[in-house]
Amino acid sequence: MVIIVGADRLGNIENLLRTRGLSEYRHISGRNPKSQKCIPTKTSGAELMILFTDFVGHNVMRNFRKQAREHNIPFIACKRSVCALSTNLDKCGFMATCGNCQNCPNKKPDNNKFPIPYRH
């Protein structure tokens, strides 16, 4: 499950998450004061937290980052755009799945000493 904080609508971001194998998510707009302090039990079990920085205030962001650290959830802070999120998901290892992983040009070598840069 992915926790998404910020933005009123997700738009094409839902499709991007599906292509990365992240189809289950919980969206918190961050505008409602009650949702700004999410109960930690709702964040447990999440594999990733995404914070859209252009839609939340500093206190909201600080609160969710603190919760992510407490529950050992990796988090991404980026602007609400498909391009920015895609770049950050790549950096975190959530690559797009095309079904041809064996012949993928973006596949890292087995020794992991010199990883191949991921570019589109």
Q: Spell 84-102 as b/e; 16+ CB within 10 A means b.
A: ebbebbbeeebbeeeeeee
Q: Mean pLDDT in runs of 10 for the chain (120 residues)?
A: 88 89 85 62 76 84 87 89 90 72 56 48
Q: Is the dihedral of CA 15, 18, 23, 25 positive or negative?
A: negative
Say what the pLDDT of residue 9 is: 85
Structure tokens at 113: 């000493």
Say what the pLDDT of residue 104 is: 61
- Give the right CATH number for 2-103 from 1.10.10.10, 3.40.50.1100, 3.40.50.10700, 3.40.50.620: 3.40.50.10700
Say what the pLDDT of residue 111 is: 47
Say what the pLDDT of residue 120 is: 46
